[in-house]
Structure 1
């Protein structure tokens, strides 16, 4: 990525260019990304195909000031981190939910060496605020809970939050193109969580803001404030004012690329 585009990306998340590609700077970039670039699946319900190409991802997140889901958010963040001197490896994961496991390449996450290895993930919705050490011997406290990495007999890693499995992480390096088939499935299959839901969410300094279809939810600690938006104008204003997303059309469930 060109230096000017790197600067634009850093400005997008309100970050200064790090002096060194170390763990402290990585944690700061990670948190700023979560607070400014929303986790959203609006493209699926605006009939916008999701293109897993570095140029397209940077254009969407930096130039168009949109968000995305895991392939887009972690894919773009990988480009930024590499441009800043970090060693980044894409890893595949499968979500774990109540004993069921998602399809292969269900999720993209990152290994970042800074210089020690860290699990970096700005694309899993409500998850860690800061990177996790890739160390299966320790509990790691985060504002979202206590996380632990557990090695499986097959050599994968289960990521647990407060003892509850979140996803199973493979350790084999992957390329962006490896995720294309599952990304297409996520956009089109009636079994996909993303075709059955409409969400835009980001971390805030005191909690989280989420717009789920027409329900705007502001969570602070254990307090939850919900507002139902009744008009298209209110929905478009909420995307603009709370998430920095300028839309001409309100996305609707049932519209897919």
Structure 2
């Protein structure tokens, strides 16, 4: 892989320039642009496609195939981009809180710890950020990992709070989102989590279709045949009529050129 050419293609995909320095401003810009361009989607689950946890394959899916993916794919690819741009990046595993407050499986989610040069007067050698482009409707900006107070974000008010056994919990508007284990992880460590979410009937990804991305004033989501847009807090929903209109919506709103309409369970590969 010609990494220089690949990274140029990645930056072009998200509409970003190569940053002069890998600092906090550049990190925020890259995350925002990624969220607005590359959709969070589980379509591979229902198209019989493998989820390949290999850096080259992950970047190729985003850059060459112009697709999105699950957290393992999106944050996996984003980690490569950041590293090649000079950021120090560590993969972390997290468990997602369910609606009733229970925790999901280990390696339920991949998130990224990113270091940038310390801000003047911070007293630290580096600032640490929780960067995430793979949790769907989540924080728009990276979260200050060592800040324990409220963090205002276009998506709400976030807090990073101490959890048990050295873990930290990410909380949004008072509701816990996921619990982060601070120990560094390799990409291969997430294989079991990716397999579970691609194959298990207990995973919500095998039971539903989702394709979603941020917009400059809200969010747009295609869930099966329902196109949902949120603009300035106002939610609008429209049912699409037929495969042609669904495929056109994938193309128009997410830049996805699909040969067939994904359908829940029809093309999912059992293992």
The answer for the alignment partner of 2:214 in structure 1 is 203
Can you give the 5+ residue segments of structure 2 that lack an aligned partner in the other structure? 118-126
2:142 aligned with 1:142, yes or no? no
1:102 to 104, 111, 136: 104
Assess if the C-alpha contact under 8 Å between 1:88 and 1:110 holds in 2: yes
> Contact 1:187–1:194 at 8 Å: present in 2 too?
yes
Q: 1:137 offset after TM fit, Å?
A: 2.4
Instruction: Structure 1 unaligned segments of length 5 or more: list them.
Output: none
1:193-251 Cα distance to aligned partner (Å, 9 max, x none)? 10011000000011100000000011112211111011100000000000000001100
2:68 pairs with 1:67: yes
TM-score by length of 1: 0.98
Counterpart of 2:204 in 1: which secondary structure?
coil
CA distance in 1, matches of 2:221, 2:148: 34
- The alignment status of 1:244 with 2:246, answered yes or no, reads no
Q: Distance in 2 between matches of 1:95 and 1:2?
A: 33
Aligned partners of 1:109, 1:49: CA distance in 2, in Å?
A: 21
Please list, as runs of the form range in 1=range in 2, the aligned pairs for 1:27-46 lying within 5 A after superposition: 27-46=28-47
SS in 1 for 2:206: coil
User: In the alignment, what sits opposite 2:82?
Assistant: 81
SS at match of 2:165: coil
Secondary structure, in 3 states, of the residue corresponding to 2:92?
A: strand
CA contact 1:136–1:151 (8 Å) conserved in 2 = no
Match of 2:122 in 1: none
SS at match of 2:53: coil
Displacement of 1:99 after TM fit? 1.2
Runs of 4+ in 1 over 2 A off after TM superposition: none
Tell me the distance in 2 between the aligned counterparts of 1:5 and 1:237.
28
Structure 2 length-normalised TM: 0.93
Q: For residues 102-135 of structure 1, give each alpha carbon's deviation from its aligned partner in whole angstroms, at most 9, with x where no partner exists.
A: 0000000000001311000000000000100012
1:153, distance to aligned residue in structure 2 (A): 3.0
1:158 equivalenced with 2:169 (yes/no) = yes
How many angstroms apart in 1 are the aligned matches of 2:215 and 2:163? 34
RMSD, aligned α-carbons:
0.8
Measure, in 1, the Cα distance between the counterparts of 2:150 and 2:93: 22
In the alignment, is the contact (CA less than 8 A) between 1:147 and 1:162 conserved in 2? Answer: yes
